[in-house]
Structure 1
């Protein structure tokens, strides 16, 4: 059955009419031909919310759309003045982070970082997956920041916005250079990824683990290969992520599993299997985050859901809204990560019971900061005093 036929059938149901109308409105004039977006999760490429003009793709009868090229990954160089980003969010356990890349080729349809592409005048849709920015100066900038007088070392997180080990890292190797800087000055770091490419840097990570300077969290969203392929088209397969957990654990590197995001009605039934599989692979602790649909992520996700799982559309969105105060998303601190209401409570209890049973409820040991030695590399500004 075609997408259009699914839409027409769903629209006949009065209870579903509003949802379908919203989704169709999001798609109107923006749907990209499947041949142009093959291997991508997003099906639309709406203009960024800060743009004065909104561009829409439509066939004017001259068949000009057939000549448009496919979306290919393009990487531009970004040269920021600083590389350490600071935050004061009460929902997360760190106050500083590093993001070597802007945009992510993994293309996870649910990625909460998609709206940040609007700051670059680009779309949070297909542009986020294909028009990327790399920060090759990040290692040198990091050296300078760590060498500043009065700098106090605290845990730095890498990969909190976009995945540091996305495919372009194989060529640019920015993350590895950052780790070399942190290892040389004994600075603590935590990494979040869903890529098995993290195993490439196991030599550095193992050295840092011996000094209690590193921990890694691997995101395992689903064990269903087909769901992973459509939802996270260019990320490592579920099996490869479990292999990454195993490899890191065997090398003595503390590793956690992130069962995130939990999408009600789509992958929430896998929570226990994911945790059990990760424990068997060597994970020592676990966490989860509820699906977040801020700003442009909501229409992108709803469009994806209608294309791939139209029979679940009503059920999934109904459960999401039941945990978000009737909205697609609630950005309130303390609620945005876990949600609220009976279904959110049930998810939390299931997670609590399973992690306790598997021994994944242990807290991570705090990373050391007392070993820190300011860097003295070539990128460090000399003291004029």
Structure 2
């Protein structure tokens, strides 16, 4: 069994003993030093589940671990053949999406997309936050796909896996190019983000909104900046997200607040305050999602919880499992977003009562599809002879 850092022993004892810590570290891999992971959400970098071997750092007595460099953000170019991903999940409101990037620099420790990095032979831990993939051909591929004969327009969701406005978007501007294609084609788009960078594209989004073609949702997990900094280290602060919602609303863009994820025993007491703050910012729609811990996310989150809130560890996990039929996660459709049991019902009713009191969700934004026109000059479009 790997040794646990001495500085954490008192915290682990408060959470229920050193055995819990050893078990979680055995699941997630050796915790890396603070200097190597400064500004990151995860503290571990376990091998991907598809790898034939596992690699673990360990102290051999020569202090070589102290000499390793900090994790820096590295971006590689990915060249997919298609850019629109189809979805058939019955509990999701969209059937197609676009992911301009793979991996996410925001580093949200609870991110349910972390396990997808295993498909690249990388870790869902620190690799997910630091070894990213950009798709610079996304706009061209999108134009090609929209121009194919028989294409039927429906709202494209962007930001449902990794954030399209994560910090590297400032340089790559892939999301901006995608919006330019969608605007030219009068194609509807729904965006979800945690970034204030979305305000950069208010010009495009407001023009599309005037035609009924765009809406933007921001996820506001907490109003506690200390919790947000620990849990979502490179995402916008809570106050900036609320200010972003205000700017979008004032520009005539339909906005929505997502109180997501709700973590029982950690941020669920903020549901009412988050919704009230969002209404003040001009929001008229709201939704929520219960914390999801699929595959490698579970040990990564539990390791984070032990480091930052050891005295709440047992309580948070007990509440979560009470809503997941005794497990860390239940992937069954219809249950994975909301959970089951008395505590899940209580969260649902609190959310519904607050939404009713604040007059949210009185009407839902429905984006138009009847204005769509295939991008001119793209593959598959019959050009005019005159």
Partner residue of 2:27? 26
Aligned to 1:102: 102
2: distance between equivalents of 1:121 and 1:337? 28
Report the alpha carbon displacement of residue 24 of structure 1 after superposing the two structures with TM. 3.6
Q: Is the 8 A contact 1:99 1:161 kept in 2?
A: yes
**8 Å contact kept, 1:19–1:314:** no
Residue 169 of structure 1 is matched in structure 2 by: 169
- Partner deviation per Cα, 1:132-169 (whole Å, 9 max, x = no partner): 00000000000000000111111100010000000000
In structure 1, the partner of 2:50 is 50
C-alpha distance in 2 between matches for 1:266 and 1:9: 16
Give the aligned length: 379
Residue pair 1:26, 1:303 contacting (<8 A) in 2 also = no
Matched, 1:2 2:7: yes
Native 8 Å contact 2:28 2:45 kept in 1: no
State the distance in 2 between where 1:210 and 1:183 align: 11
User: Structure 2: where are the runs of 5+ without partners?
Assistant: 1-5
Mapped contact 2:15–2:306 kept (Cα < 8 A): no
CA shift, 1:361, in A, is 2.5
CA distance in 2, matches of 1:228, 1:11: 25
SS in 1 for 2:286: strand
Matches of 1:375 and 1:247 in 2, distance apart?
A: 30
**Secondary structure of 1:132's partner?**
strand
Distance 2:294 2:363 in 1: 29
Cα distance between partner residues in 1 of 2:362 and 2:114: 32
Q: In 1, Cα distance between the equivalents of 2:37 and 2:117?
A: 18
What SS does the corresponding residue of 2:35 show, helix, strand or coil?
coil
Q: What are the superposed Cα offsets for residues 25-64 of structure 1, whole Å, 9 maximum, x if unpaired?
A: 2355x21111000000100000000000100011101111
Q: Normalising by the residue count of structure 1, what TM-score does the alignment of the two structures yield?
A: 0.96
Give deviations 1:145-204, integer Å, cap 9, x for gaps: 000011111110001000000000000000010000000010000000010100000000
DSSP 3-state at the match of 2:65: helix
Change (3 A) 1:207 1:123: same
Q: Does 1:299 align with 2:299?
A: yes
- After TM superposition, give the deviation of residue 313 of structure 1 in Å: 0.3
1:235/1:323 CA distance change after superposition, 3 Å: same
**1:250-278 deviations in whole A, cap 9, x for unaligned?**
00000000000000000000000000000
C-alpha contact (below 8 Å) 2:15/2:314 kept by paired residues:
no
Deviation at 1:320, TM superposition (A): 0.5
TM-score w.r.t. length of structure 2 = 0.95
The DSSP-based 3-state class of the residue aligned with 2:56 is coil
5 Å-filtered alignment, 1:146-185, equals 146-185=146-185
Q: Which residue of 2 aligns with 1:257?
A: 257
- 1:213 shift after superposition: 0.3
Q: Matches of residues 105-254 of structure 1 in structure 2 within 5 Å?
A: 105-254=105-254
Question: Cα offset for 1:292?
Answer: 0.1
